[in-house]
Amino acid sequence: MERFSKEITLEKRNKHIGDACTLFFKHDPLKITKASKQYMYDEKDNAYLDCINNVCHVGHCHPYVVEAGYEQMKTLNTNSRFLHDNLVMLAERLTSTLPEGLNTVYFTNSGSEATDLAIRLANHHTHGSEQITLDHAYHGHVISALDISPYKLGTCTDGIHTHSENIHIVPCPDIYRGKYRDCDYPEDNMAHLYANEVKAVIDKLKKEKKQVSMFIAESMQSCAGQVIFPEGYLQKVYKYVHDAGGICIADEVQVGFGRAGSHFWTFQTQDVIPDIVTIGKPMGNGHPVAAVITTKDISMSFKNSGMEYFNTYGGNPVSCAIALAVMDVIEEEKLQENALTTGKYWVAQLNEIKKQFPIIGDVRGLGLFIGIDLVKDRETREPASAEAKHVIARMKEEFIILSTDGPHCNIIKMKPPMCFTKENVDLVCQKLVMVLKEIQDKNINSNANSVISGKKERHSDSDDSGVSVNGHHGFVNGQEYVAVHTGESDSVTVVK
Ligand SMILES: Cc1ncc(COP(=O)(O)O)c(C=O)c1O
């Protein structure tokens, strides 16, 4: 339903909404007025195929989930200091999907709260304060989570929130464009090379007589550009961390709940058992509900600190009803299985397309979590950032919503609702071929106007930092330009 024209909505938003909040496609933002399954509709009723919404996990506005929330909202909503069946049912249901020891649940309202609580649990249990995180990671927007989120913290330039000395950043195990690339180390075990970076930090801390509290990582890294870890990486790292008396936290906020296809939790694809799992986004299908799941021992250390855990909304009956309904739908509609088959099909199709287009350097994915790394040159793997941005803008004109991510914003990111079909994949691939052909022929459509920006425009659900980048390349009417950012706005002045 529309109350105002798109222009008025934008005007009111610019006037009243916090200036640090950004929009997708800020040169021509989408006004979405309704959604269903894997489709979102704008104010003119145009249907967009949503390839990026891993929050509306079982499909936008799934009627079964909506009904469960509505029914519970009519009946009762209160805090978790009263007994309620939904709370215990959800805790039981979640823990039944996890390895045996992970049997204790704390509910929160967001992934950021879950990260913050996980850090507190780790600190109380280990009496340590040293935290190890991956480069390019994002774990949330509260201060404690930002501390371990180089992806975001690195963009803060006023010197107010800076890197803390107890946070240790290790290279993201990206074998395509990370510190150790498969092409540079053909004889080496990539998992070992990257895990040794964690060991080096731990050895240094031991020498300095500092206690490791925790190592945190997404089980495949979304914000770094859909990075799938080399086999055995987490096993090695978890061993080093455990041997040093630390705790391993698996952030499954983006990648949990069956997205990987082969397993319900993505850490299972690495054959490890974390000490703490955090979960958020997909759990409520858009409703704010999240959780920290841990062992009894770790939970008891937290309790024995003497401090009560109370969260006004965490674990309320409505949120729990919704999360239970989401889990029902995943099972009944076999969405994890769909993620496996549709994801495999998608990767196979993209690998076929890769044969035709040298701009595609790498295609990677597990289940419905897929990335396409665009390069200017397959040998050097120089990122094709402007081209990636162009692809996103053109695909939007074709009513397909994608995003870019990674340190160079050159990775096309796909993580759609889990009801995505093979027919949807075919459509995305057909349009992608068309747009890549345009780029190849330098027959670029200038209406894809988000390209003519001097700012990086990341589109992941956690970011949109809107960092201004001078020297950024793009295309206008088939001509390459170099952007010069001249002030507060997105103005671009130089065309090559
Ligand atoms: C991996 C990861 N962890 C944690 C968070 C924080 O979750 P929230 O935005 O619900 O606070 C995000 C959000 O994008 C995320 O991607």
**DSSP class of 268:** G
The pLDDT tens digits for 400-441 are 999 999 999 999 999 999 999 999 999 999 999 999 999 999
Instruction: Give domain status of residue 489, yes or no.
Output: no
112 in contact with ligand 1, CB cutoff 6 A? yes
Same domain, 303 and 373: no
254 in contact with ligand 1, CB cutoff 6 A? yes
Atom of ligand 1 nearest to the CA of 218: 1
Please name the helix (run of DSSP H) or strand (run of DSSP E) that holds residue 385, with its range, or none: helix 385-397
213 in contact with ligand 1, CB cutoff 6 A? no
How many CB atoms lie under 10 A from the CB of residue 430?
Answer: 13
Which one of 316, 332, 348 terminates a domain? 332
Atom of ligand 1 nearest to the CA of 288: 10
CA of 419 to the centre of ligand 1 (A): 22
139 in contact with ligand 1, CB cutoff 6 A? yes
Instruction: Give domain status of residue 495, yes or no.
Output: no
**DSSP class of 178:** S
218 in contact with ligand 1, CB cutoff 6 A? yes
The pLDDT tens digits for 28-50 are 999 999 999 999 999 999 999 99
Structural domain including 450 reads 6-58+335-482
Q: Return the residue whose CA atom lies nearest to atom 8 of ligand 1.
A: 111
110 in contact with ligand 1, CB cutoff 6 A? yes
How far apart CA 37 and CA 39 sit, in angstroms, is 6
280 in contact with ligand 1, CB cutoff 6 A? yes
Q: Return the residue whose CA atom lies nearest to atom 7 of ligand 1.
A: 111
Same domain, 340 and 221: no
Decide: pTM greater than 0.95.
no
Residues 6+ apart with CB under 8 A from 348: none
Q: Return the residue whose CA atom lies nearest to atom 15 of ligand 1.
A: 139
CA of 226 to the centre of ligand 1 (A): 15
Cβ atoms 474, 452 nearer than 8 A:
yes
282 in contact with ligand 1, CB cutoff 6 A? no
How far apart CA 84 and CA 227 sit, in angstroms, is 40
Same domain, 285 and 357: no
How many folded domains does the chain comprise?
A: 2
Token representation of residue 23: 């929009």
Residues 6+ apart with CB under 8 A from 42: 30, 31, 32, 33, 48
Same domain, 361 and 313: no
Same domain, 124 and 67: yes
Which one of 283, 298, 332 terminates a domain? 332
Instruction: Give domain status of residue 23, yes or no.
Output: yes
Same domain, 209 and 76: yes
CA of 433 to the centre of ligand 1 (A): 32
pLDDT tens string for the chain (496 positions)?
789 999 999 999 999 999 999 999 988 999 999 999 999 999 999 999 999 999 999 999 999 999 999 999 999 999 999 999 999 999 999 999 999 999 999 999 999 999 999 999 999 999 999 999 999 999 999 999 999 999 999 888 899 998 899 999 999 999 999 999 999 999 999 999 999 999 999 999 999 999 999 999 999 999 889 999 999 999 999 999 999 999 999 999 999 999 999 999 999 999 999 999 999 999 999 999 999 999 999 999 999 999 899 999 999 999 999 999 999 999 999 999 999 999 999 999 999 999 999 999 999 999 999 999 999 999 999 999 999 999 999 999 999 999 999 999 999 999 999 999 999 999 999 999 999 999 999 755 444 444 433 344 443 444 333 322 333 333 333 333 333 322 222 222 222 2
How far apart CA 150 and CA 136 sit, in angstroms, is 5
Q: Domain with 359 in it: what CATH number? A: 3.90.1150.10
Same domain, 355 and 454: yes
299 in contact with ligand 1, CB cutoff 6 A? no
Same domain, 232 and 90: yes
Instruction: Give domain status of residue 266, yes or no.
Output: yes
Instruction: Give domain status of residue 493, yes or no.
Output: no
Which one of 289, 307, 332 terminates a domain? 332
Same domain, 319 and 343: no
Same domain, 254 and 377: no
CA of 378 to the centre of ligand 1 (A): 32
CA of 60 to the centre of ligand 1 (A): 19
CA of 110 to the centre of ligand 1 (A): 7
Residue 451 CA: distances (Å) to CA of 11, 25, 254: 22, 10, 27
Residues 6+ apart with CB under 8 A from 5: none
